[in-house]
Amino acid sequence: MGASAICLGGLFSRNFERRAIVILGLGSVLICSAFVLPEYWSRLAFKPSMSFQDDLKVVQFNVWHLNQTPQKAVGWIIGQKADVIIIEEAGSERTSILQGLRAAYPYASCDKGAGCETLIFSRYAMTARGGNRTEGPYASTAWATLMTPRGPFSVIGVHYSWPFPAGTQQEQAHNLARTVSRFDKKTTIVAGDFNSTPWSFTLRRQDKALGLHRWTRALPSWPAGQFTRVAAAPAPLLPIDHVYAGSSWRAVTIERGPVLGSDHRPIVATFTRSKE
């Protein structure tokens, strides 16, 4: 909008009005750049490294309750051979996505038929699990503590509401921070659809409150594909799907998946765990 003010003001305004509009537009661009550019700098500074067999692969994906190609989506998810899958807007147990994931993964954070909207699937045994089924002040969340040969760790999946009306997301962020505090922060991983960009004040406050490192930097994931009846997205514009991890984890790759019938694109993160 600031760039548009500069262009339109410069082309169609005159005299003092032109100077005022262009200066205000330039000011807004500079202010926004102060929030946005550090994210892109962090993304450029991240250097992927080689992954190994004992690394942890995590897929975060809002599969969308109106998914147009569920068979393609579940085929791609299973084909990733990930250790942990976090999905939002899971939909009915009759959908091929849930049926396929339940068949492919031995452990899930939610029992079949329980109506959970956010779920965690894992190839590792879950020693504890839980969450909230519906959105609202507590968000739609799922959590599980997993047992691996390298020791236990916890995963939390979350789906925030939209950023408007104001207040709900902030309350959800507060409750998520309280949930995270119950686990060992060094080994905890948090992933989900936060419906919030990294340069929003909500997410900036959340980054501090969680005490975890956000590895998704300026990685747009929304919109994707035919996200309304009349509009298709040529490319994602907003980074609103995020992955956090504690100090025991270091990301070796952070990638965005393809268009899979959802209005979001998936995020694939591979982590190596430090020796403890």
pTM: 0.93
- CATH class for the region spanning 56-273: alpha beta
- Cα separation, 199 vs 80, in Å, equals 30
Report the DSSP pairing between strands 189-193 and 151-159.
parallel
Yes or no: say if 14 and 21 are a contact pair by the CB < 8 Å rule: no
Query: What is the structure's pLDDT at 136?
Result: 54
Contact 118, 88 (CB under 8 A): yes
HSE-CB at 7 with a 13 A cutoff on CA atoms is: 4
Cβ contact 157:267 at 8 Å: no
Query: DSSP secondary structure string, 169-205?
Result: HHHHHHHHHHHHTTS-TTT-EEEEE-S--TTSHHHHH
CB 221 within 8 A of CB 236: yes
DSSP H stretches of helix in 54-153: 70-79, 96-104
Q: What is the pLDDT of residue 165?
A: 87
Domain boundaries, the chain: 2-45, 56-273
**pLDDT at position 276, please?**
65
Phi, psi of 184 (to 5 degrees): -70, 110
Q: What is the pLDDT of residue 72?
A: 97
pLDDT attached to residue 137: 56
DSSP track, 247-270: TTEEEEEEEE----SSSS--EEEE
Separation CA 70–CA 81 (nearest Å): 18
pLDDT at 134: 63
**Residue whose structure tokens are 């779920």:** 119
The C-alpha atoms of residue 153 and residue 144 are separated, in whole angstroms, by 9
Q: pLDDT tens, position by position, for the chain (276 residues)?
A: 999 999 999 999 999 999 999 999 999 999 999 999 999 999 999 999 988 989 999 999 999 999 989 999 999 999 999 999 999 999 888 889 999 999 999 999 999 988 899 999 999 999 999 988 765 555 899 999 999 999 999 999 999 999 988 899 999 999 999 999 999 999 999 999 999 999 999 999 999 999 999 999 999 999 998 767 777 888 999 999 999 999 999 999 999 999 999 999 999 999 999 976
